[in-house]
Structure 1
Amino acid sequence: MVRWLHPTQVLRTGLDAVVATVFGARADHRLIEAVVRPQQPYFDYSEATGADGDFWLDYVSDIGDGWDSTYAVARLLALPELRLPEEDGKTAHVTPRGRVLVFGGDEVYPGASRETYEERTVQPYEAAMRRSQSPHPDLFVIPGNHDWYDGLSAFMRLFCAQRWVAGRRTKQSRSYFALKLPKNWWLIGTDVQLNSDIDVPQVEYFRHVAEQMGPDDRVILCNAEPAWVLAAAARRAKGSYLENNLEYLEEKVLGRRIAVFLAGDLHHYRRHEDDTGQHRITAGGGGAFMHPTHAPAAPVLRDGSTLRKSFPDESTSRKLARKNLFLIRYSPLFGLITGLWYLLLALAAYAEVGSLGLSHLPEVVTAVANSMVNRPWTLILGMVTMGGLAGLADAALGKWRALLGGLHGAAHIVAAFFIAWGATYITVSKLGVCPVLTADGAHCADGWLHLAGKFFFSCAFTFVGGFLVGPFITGLYLWLSVNFFGAHSNEAFGSLALPDWKNFLRMRIGKDGALTIYPVGLERVPRKWKPTGAGPMSPAFDPDDPDATEPFLIEPPIRVCR
């Protein structure tokens, strides 16, 4: 799994996000697609039913992270059929592999490039199935924000050049598409770029598709992110979360034909349903780290849809958030950042307090305060700590954002004060390094070697203290934020990089024209695998982990009538 709080990853992610946002907004690859990449109005599967008259398709989103989680899902998608028991264990459903597989966004982490796609997406999926038998399954893909981090170049090369990927054919030439399915069903896949909107040529493409639809046709609309959840959590007015083009497509072009909304981006399963039977399903469990289901909270959407099911359930999600209190276990190298920062704060406000114990706290505070007054840049460093963390606080904290972010920074400053004081006290009073200073207070009476030793041991102890304590304070802040304020859900669970609680959707269009959705869950992915020795049409590895769980239905099959 990607270690999001690794120091180099923190820097790389920040730079990727800035570059993609700045250049992506000014060099929209989709406008070039519309000119140089012609695409047929839609891909026709209306007559592609099986011998029993059914048509099956699969949907998975947010893949290409850790090997275990990505391959576990890829293997299930590659098997000829899956036996899926319901939660009660009494009823089971046998479901064949889909004729079409849809990747619903964020096909690779942490950012797109030819190498990361190959390592994190293609290799796990080809290990699950390198070749297939006729009729060969097809693959359609929409990009998410992580696919856009290189301007969509690697995405277009891999998925929009009619290549074979993991035994499946890719047919699209643009980053969006339309599929005509049996029994007057359609599947629409949009490209919303970087949390933005669909472009005008894309609107025109889908307007032309809508002209091919009958008044009673039904649509499955796939977006890269669940705007309905994010808008409900933001409590913003209608039309202000996403730009008007996407809402125009949903409300004016497709309208009430939309029976099901699908999206990933949030790495869990949540289903909302309104009184008319319209479903909004978030299913981003293809391999990326798990997101909480209790934050952002969206029990009721702005259109009145209510939450019907989540996986994991909110109680389990809250319990998992407590792992942030042991953040150093899940992101051990994050301590390098806090250790170095605590050391910098300590050096900036250094004072000779090594001979003063806890009973001399007022004297120590006075000495450090005098040191800060004599070094104005120390105050600036403290303000940067508090102001920076206040600025990085999640907007979901609302009116508490500045206060809680500032308190987070203040907690680190206070911790750095006590750790640095303790480090100096241990060095001087316990180890006996440089216990006596010269008259000017600038040198050790025992010589320069003691002075160097004092500097070395004090810095080392301060760094180690910051390495251990800093992640705990950050983890405590994240736990409080996500469990009590519904904020920092991405940071709180990205830091844990939990590979479990995966999901994907298997869908069937029956002879009667009804759509049945089977939400497949995998509570614990295998950590160990054994080679199968099978050919290229079968998975190369099977689970060899007694603690791994079998796939099951997250909830009973969801039936959507025409």
Structure 2
Amino acid sequence: MADYKFGKHEPPHLRWPVAWYHPYVLLRAAREMVATGDFIRNFDRRELFTEKFEVIDQTEGYTGGDYWWDFMSDSGDGGNASYTVARAVQSPELSVGIDKGVVVTDIMTQLPASNLLVLGGDLAYPGASNEEYQYRFIEMWEAARPSVNSEAHADKKLHVVSIPQNHDWFDNISSFNRHFIGDYSNHFLQAHTPQNRSYFATRLPHDWWILGLDFALVGDLDRTQYEAFLNLIETSNEQSDKTIHPGHNVILLYPEPYWTRPLGDGAGEGYPRRYQRLEAALLNAGIKIRMRLAGDLHHYVRESATTGAQLDYEDLLVTCGSGGAFLHPTHAKRVSDLKVLDRIDDDDAMTPDIRERVCVGLQSKGSKAQNQREYSHQKSYPSRETSKGLSWWNLIALFKPTSIFGLFKDEAKGNFIQRCGQRIGELKRGLLGGNFMFPIMLGLLYFLAVYCNSFVFTNSFEADGFIHASRIGEISLPSFIVLWFKALFFSPLAFLVHAVLIGLCGSIAMEDGGRAFALSAIYSIVHILAAATLFWIGGYFHLDPYSKGMVIFLGGVVVGGFLFGVYFALVARFGGLANNAFSAIAHQGYKGFLRFRIDNKGTLHGYMIGTDAVPQRWVTNVHKDNRPLWIERADQDKPEWKIRDAFSLKK
């Protein structure tokens, strides 16, 4: 955090995206996730909420007409993308076009500001410290806020509700609580933040509800949260505005799209997860679950179902995590494979309260229940074909500086030498603070692997079939490779270094499960062969020890980084490594949010508002009252906001 500069003089393009393959970032994220997960296992902070769970009623004061609300998730990564989305969401009148193939017949091209902003979590990366929240999220949204004196905002105040995702939990949701829990005047955007827990229930006009769920880092509801939502289900004939009645329509906001995991989400027989029981209780009460909505995956995907599971209405699975974080692929297997809903009556359950569950997820091969409900793909943004093409950016992803625009920033002042010094400093920051540190780490691993394994290439081990390092160039490369693998069993330290390299490849591949580890083992052997080849080249050309060490280190940086790029590109192209490959690319485009409208008849209309590209350079706004604070530089194209998808759910 020491290099971060806060305030009005640090524009979005200097708030560079997180370098997810920087060794420090990897270690920090792993450390914070393990520490918080361990803490939650012993003391779940969600159990500290003791205030009465209150329904947030958005029908008070509603007199008819269209009711607008927004959903945005996964912001707080790169400044360009986060600020672009924040400015669009808060625009009093947002001009939009209509994307090719999207049918919209009932909407104007100037969208009004919404009454309610729903945030889906992961609001700051890589952790959730006060500094990260301020630098990557709060300041971006505050700078994008229009003038509080504008006519569009004079007669209403924005309401904000939010749930945390996993990165928000990395500080045990301390920062999240400070900004979103309790309705204080100094909260986020000076908006109303009426929720008193990390989860919420919001009633919208025409009997629509949003239930925002908090999974913490354990993948499920805690007991207190589960009971709070169960208490909202009306079981009597009383007419109350604070309970959900049969026939009401519910949107379940999840912190992650659990439906991209296998059906059942790993719950054991006889003991379903609490959120599965909650869904069963809602359906059994005659309440309609019309949409399961989540962020977490940084793209937009909509799937729908109309028949099956004894349900006579359409419901949707919607993922929209396009608020500012790096892009996730839409062609990934777990995203594009068939999803099904299954209502299960579990005879193995010991008590009646845990007998019924509703499961949504990837269908197991060769299995299909008679009453399953299948979801068909409707829309992806970006398209699956575009997503596949972006996979090839991995070939150079690890060698890119964090940003190249800092080299030409206007703030460089002084004489020529001073300006050059400032720009060299920006380049240094871009290289040493970016993914390029990962290839440097690989170069060090290559060097250590060779150094430790070279111990046996001395006269002392000639009796074991080895030769002196000075004679390596006298034998062929295949013969040397055989000796290299043999040497691993003579040098325990070399074996350990090679095991670290294999473990690194395996840990990255484990995103796709245990089967992917076998492929990573083969791939790690390629790295071992590459390191051995670099050592052989040094011997073949009779390089001195210093030159040989430089060849091995620099060769490890270039060859190791390129091999990882090839591996990422190929696996990602065929639907694997959705997170680990695309986080290296750190693509800033295809960003957006969901804007919803409930009309006079109670029909919910959803519009995915997206832009393919975001500006890469900003200047201070000198017009009017300097709000929003920054605008695109003259040579930058403005975001082309279009309705990328439109859908409707009748009441």
State the TM bucket, normalised to the shorter chain: 0.7 to 0.9
Match of 1:346 in 2: 450
Kindly tell me: are residues 458 and 178 of structure 1, through their superposed partners in 2, closer, same or farther at Cα, counting changes over 3 Å? same
Q: CA deviation at 1:81?
A: 1.8
Whether the 8 Å contact between 2:474 and 2:540 is mirrored in structure 1 is no
Tell me, in whole angstroms, the C-alpha distance in 1 between the residues paired with 2:111 and 2:52. 32
Q: Is 2:390 the partner of 1:320?
A: yes
Aligned equivalent of 1:406: 521
Matched ranges for 1:119-130 at <5 A: 119-129=135-145
Q: 1:116 maps to which residue?
A: 132
**2:56 is matched with which residue?**
43
Question: Paired residue for 1:95, among 111, 114, 120?
Answer: 111
For residues 321 and 111 of structure 1, the distance between their equivalents in structure 2, rounded to whole angstroms, comes to 26
- The TM-score, its normalising length taken from structure 1, stands at 0.88
Correspondence 1:506 to 2:599? no
Out of 368-377 and 108-117, give the one that drifted further.
368-377
- Is 1:294 the equivalent of 2:331? yes
Contact 1:299/1:306, CA 8 A, preserved across alignment: no
2:351 counterpart residue number: none
Cα distance change of structure 1 residues 43 and 61 upon mapping to structure 2, 3 Å threshold: same
SS at match of 1:546: coil
Give the structure with the larger helix fraction: 1
Q: Is 1:144 matched with 2:165?
A: yes
Match of 1:274 among 305, 314, 331: 305
How many residues align? The count is: 527
SS of the counterpart of 1:520?
strand
Alpha carbons 2:472, 2:539 under 8 Å: kept: no
Deviates more, 1:202-211 or 1:55-64: 202-211
Partners of 1:316 and 1:299 in 2: CA distance:
17
User: Does 2:282 match 1:253?
Assistant: yes
Q: 1:170 aligns to what?
A: 193
- Structure 2 residue identity aligned to 1:311: Y
* Corresponding residue to 2:204 among 168, 177, 181: 181
Give the distance between the partners of 1:155 and 1:524, measured in 2 at CA.
Answer: 29
Percentage of matched positions with identical amino acids = 32
Q: CA deviation at 1:487?
A: 2.5
Deviation at 1:4, TM superposition (A): 0.5
Contact 2:258-2:265 at 8 Å conserved across structures = no
2:69 is matched with which residue: 33, 57, 75? 57
Q: Deviations over 1:181-214 (max 9, x none)?
A: 1111111111111151111111121122222122
**How many angstroms apart in 2 are the aligned matches of 1:290 and 1:311?**
10
The 5 Å alignment of 1:450-489 reads 454=545, 456-484=546-574, 486-489=575-578
Deviation at 1:253, TM superposition (A): 3.2
CA RMSD after TM alignment: 2.5
Residue matched to 2:419: none
Gaps of 5+ in 2: 1-16, 235-242, 307-312, 342-373, 401-434, 458-467
Out of 527, 536, 539, the residue aligned to residue 628 of structure 2 is: 539
Match of 1:263 in 2: 294
Say which SS state the counterpart of residue 21 (structure 1) adopts.
helix
Instruction: Determine if the alignment matches structure 1 residue 375 to structure 2 residue 483.
Output: no
Aligned equivalents of 1:525, 1:415: Cα separation in 2: 39
Contact residue 327 and residue 471 of structure 1 kept, 8 A: no
Q: In structure 2, which of residues 82, 98, 101 is the aligned counterpart of residue 70 of structure 1?
A: 82
1:417-496 to structure 2, matched below 5 A, reads: 417-426=532-541, 428-429=542-543, 433=544, 454=545, 456-484=546-574, 486-496=575-585
Cα distance, 1:88–1:230 mapped onto 2, change above 3 Å:
same
Q: Which amino acid aligns with 2:619?
A: K
When structure 1 is superposed on structure 2, of 17-26 and 264-273 the one drifting more is: 17-26
- What SS does the aligned partner of 1:324 have? helix
Task: Tell me the residue number matched to 2:93.
Answer: 81
Give 3-state SS (helix, strand or coil) of 1:186's partner: strand
The answer as to whether partners of 2:330 and 2:336 remain within 8 angstroms in 1 is no
In 1, the alpha carbon distance for the partners of 2:83 and 2:511 equals 35
SS at match of 2:203: strand
- Residue type at the aligned position of 2:564: T
- Mean CA deviation greater in 58-67 or 403-412: 403-412
Q: Distance in 2 between matches of 1:170 and 1:362?
A: 67
- 1:451 is matched with which residue? none
1:48 and 1:182 in contact (8 A); partners too:
no
Pairwise CA distance, 1:547: 4.1
Distance change in 2, residues 1:195/1:423 (3 Å)? farther
Q: Which moved more, 1:40-49 or 1:513-522?
A: 40-49
Give the residue type in structure 2 aligned to 1:385: L
Where does residue 218 of structure 1 map in the other structure? 249
What amino acid does structure 2 have at the position aligned with 1:281? Answer: V
Contact (CA 8 Å) 1:55, 1:182: kept in 2 or not?
A: yes
TM-score norm. by structure 2 comes to: 0.76
| Equivalent in 590, 593, 618 of residue 529 of structure 1 | 618
TM-superposed CA distance for 1:461, in Å, is 1.7
State the one-letter code of the partner of 1:561: K
User: 2:399, 2:561 within 8 Å by CA — same for their partners in 1?
Assistant: no
Give the superposition deviation at 1:179.
1.0
